[in-house]
Structure 1
Amino acid sequence: MSLRHIDPKQRGFLIVNSHPTGSATTVTRTWEQVPPRPEGHSPVVLLLGHSAGYGLATLLTGMRQHGIRGVGVAYEAPETERRTASAGWYRTAAAARLAHEAASDFVFVNTDAFSDKGKDEVLDLVQERFGKVDYLIYSLAAPRRTDPATGTVHHSVIKPLGQPYEAPALDFSDDTPKVTTVRLEPATEQDKQATEHVMGGADWQLWVKALADRDLLADGFTTAALTYIGSELTAPIYRQGTIGAAKEHLERTGRDLNTGVLADRGRAFTVVAGAAVTQASSAIPSIALYTTFLRTVLGEGFRTTAQQAQDLWDQLTGATPLVTDDEGRIRLDGWELDPHVQDQVRELWSDPQNGLAHSTAGANWFINQIRELYGWGVEGIDYDQPAETTVAWPQP
């Protein structure tokens, strides 16, 4: 037992410690917001990146509505003398508790999913405990990746391509959010390639091939990788930047899987999700301000990751028809890119200082969402009380 009184250690969008009770509570509340469905088929799912964002939402909605069983994979930091465990560590423990209460045979592995060792560890467990896999969900996000073939460590960067990027951004380093200007120099070709190595489809393809080599693809096997397109307002730093290049690589990989290793054996999709407040997205300049304006326009119409994950599972399982675009991508972002919505966001963006003045509620919501990612600012939690920070990783 390790009861400690902890306070958030925050620098801008980065919070370097987490609150275990708050982190666990966010998982429970997401679970409770998902309507359960009658028992039915319980597909085997391998979920890469289960501990945050869309991956966590896909896990919780899958267990709650479709009775999924299988293995979740994440790479989370344990508690040390100086710091709490990561929020994803505490969220995993909470998700494991919910799985147990729901009698869902879902287990969790803490390992580097990019490594050969990690793949072997996970696939040994899959093979021994579950057999063939029905769904592989790829939702990994990381700042770096070691190429398992060469040992080269690649670091992703957030930069524009071709020309400098200058745009308004949200700054809440003080108590009051304000608009600032961010400027980034263009990426080099090496920057672009490194980002593709980390955030592209290379590892997705390795995982599918590893499953195929072990004869672990179930009949009708489906794999889906999460991606994002977003608004034209953020395109210069996102879709037209280094991250966008990586996402295009991911989408090409999906097409290659369908014509290659999965030909006549399964299907691969990239899934275009809508905007969300995640640890990954908060690091991208201008995304915070854009998301604040989007929330201001949509209010409660802003779809949560859990709502989007429900849409995804309904489409993957055939409960509702697939909604795909001309490139075969599953689209979950129609609510965000609705022209009427984008027109209103564009109006706020055209005068960001004035736009922020009209978006106080949206800015406060965004900041609260960031804090909740780490378990802070969660309603109903008494942060003056000591918290149990020593939480074991759930064992199979």
Structure 2
Amino acid sequence: MHRPLTPSERVVAPTGRGYLLLESHPAGCLRDVELMRAEIPVPEGPPARRPTALVIGSSAGYGLASTVTGLVRYGIDGVGVALERPAGHRSATAGWYRTVATDTLARALGSDFSFLNADAFADTTKAETLDLLAERFGGVDVLIYSVAAPRRTDPRSGTTYRSVLKPLGAPHTTRNLEFAEDGSASLREVTVGPADEAETAATVRVMGGEDWSRWIDALAERGLLRDGFRTVALSYIGSPLNAAIYRAGTIGAAKTHLESTADALTVRLAPVGGRAFTSVNGAAITQALTAVPGIPLYVSLLRGVLGDRFPSPVEQTLQLWKQLTAPRPDVDEAGRIRLDRWELAGPVQAAVAERWRALSPGTLTELADIPWFRTRFRALYGFDVPGVDYAAPVETDLPWPTAGVRPYR
């Protein structure tokens, strides 16, 4: 005899358009975190000391991978901050469910790690987070800043800034990868007009280093920076093939500001022997990067060149943590941690460029790894994850982890 379903228990199917799905699958998101854990080599013994980490943007992308890797490999305690939507007439966001899974992982590993569901840009969030850190740990060893947001409201001025993904100076035409409802892929040419000065400045205010700097200032004012404190903000350079819309565009202006902020923070961290870095990560399928015109196609071609040699976010964040905990991190001439050398290697970029030039509707599926990209994109929302029964009803109303809970706003 089957038990009756709860009002929030149902079969969840992917619905949406383009690169935005409106539903997330709880079981798929939970399973995805389990698979991430399985990628991480378990240390031979307990850590000699459990570092205290603060991860801003802990629920998705490289921020999630950094949190999971830190928990499994380095035994971190601390706090993760993310802004996610709970279940309502639709399922919760994927980041909500992945946070539930990451909290379960932390408990299983014996880590004291809490999650706040709050706007990282708000001063009230900073105060609440620092209160939690002060009460439980008395200080912080590492801060990882991994925030990709479409807008930011400055709590001190009340002004809301909106970021744009546009080139600078002139329009840019590129090709993008599009998917039909049946899963088939096609090429589409898109032209993006240039940003004006106000749009560029707003993008820098959202995606640059201003908020990262405020987090460090807040920690310093509370005396929470431990000796040898290190902080890193995650960045991306990308290929010359997408430079006009990315590194040479508005988002690139924000990344340049992020890097200059790291230099300024390193000077301010001198009293505690601290240091700030940017980490130039390699390409990955994230919700942020799929929004950039041309990037989905480029990543599919990159995977076509590399195959299984394409490193996952977990593989890359293993290297990030190695650098953050090394006495002398391996940095480039600009002081940046480089996790993208595999991507920007000359032979790899030459092979991707050759495929880009040879692209046509008839050669798309031959030159680009379309099935892999579609599977990994859907996995961002918990679909197409191995080991999940998608025909079975699933509970969608999972509670946020109780430690440090606050309602969605």
Fold conserved (TM > 0.5)?
yes
Q: CA deviation at 1:16?
A: 1.2
Aligned residue type for 2:321: W
Over aligned residue pairs, what C-alpha RMSD do you find?
1.1
Which residue number corresponds to residue 164 of structure 2?
A: 157
Q: CA deviation at 1:378?
A: 1.1
Contact 2:359–2:367 (8 Å) recurs in 1: no
Contact 1:348–1:355 (8 Å) recurs in 2: no
Deviation string 1:61-113 (CA, Å, 9 cap, x unpaired) is 11111101100000000111x21110000000000001111111111110001
Instruction: Give the secondary structure class of the aligned counterpart of 1:318.
Output: coil
Q: How does 1:202-281 map to 2 (within 5 A)?
A: 202-259=210-267, 261-265=268-272, 266-281=274-289
1:85 aligns with 2:96: no
TM-score (norm 1): 0.97
1:345 aligns with 2:331: no
Contact 1:69–1:105 (8 Å) recurs in 2: yes
Instruction: Give the secondary structure class of the aligned counterpart of 2:266.
Output: helix
Q: Give the one of 198, 220, 236 matched to 1:190.
A: 198
Q: How does 1:283-298 map to 2 (within 5 A)?
A: 283-298=291-306
Q: How does 1:168-179 map to 2 (within 5 A)?
A: 168-174=175-181, 175-179=183-187
- The unaligned stretches of length 5 or more in structure 1 are none
Aligned residue type for 1:52: A
Q: CA deviation at 1:179?
A: 1.1
Q: How does 1:1-396 map to 2 (within 5 A)?
A: 1=6, 2-37=8-43, 38-40=45-47, 41-80=49-88, 82-174=89-181, 175-259=183-267, 261-265=268-272, 266-318=274-326, 322-353=329-360, 355-359=363-367, 362-396=369-403
Give the whole-Å Cα distance in 1 for the aligned partners of 2:251 and 2:208: 9
Deviant stretches of 4+, over 2 Å: none
Give the whole-Å Cα distance in 1 for the aligned partners of 2:82 and 2:363: 38
Contact 2:31–2:387 (8 Å) recurs in 1: no
Contact 1:349–1:355 (8 Å) recurs in 2: no
Contact 1:46–1:72 (8 Å) recurs in 2: yes
Q: CA deviation at 1:189?
A: 0.5
Give the whole-Å Cα distance in 2 for the aligned partners of 1:357 and 1:270: 35
TM-score (norm 2): 0.94
Instruction: Give the secondary structure class of the aligned counterpart of 2:260.
Output: helix
Identity of aligned residues (%): 50
Q: CA deviation at 1:264?
A: 3.1
How many aligned positions are there?
A: 392
Aligned residue type for 1:229: I
Q: CA deviation at 1:323?
A: 2.2
Deviation string 1:240-284 (CA, Å, 9 cap, x unpaired) is 00000000111111111112x212321100000000000100100
Give the whole-Å Cα distance in 2 for the aligned partners of 1:28 and 1:8: 21
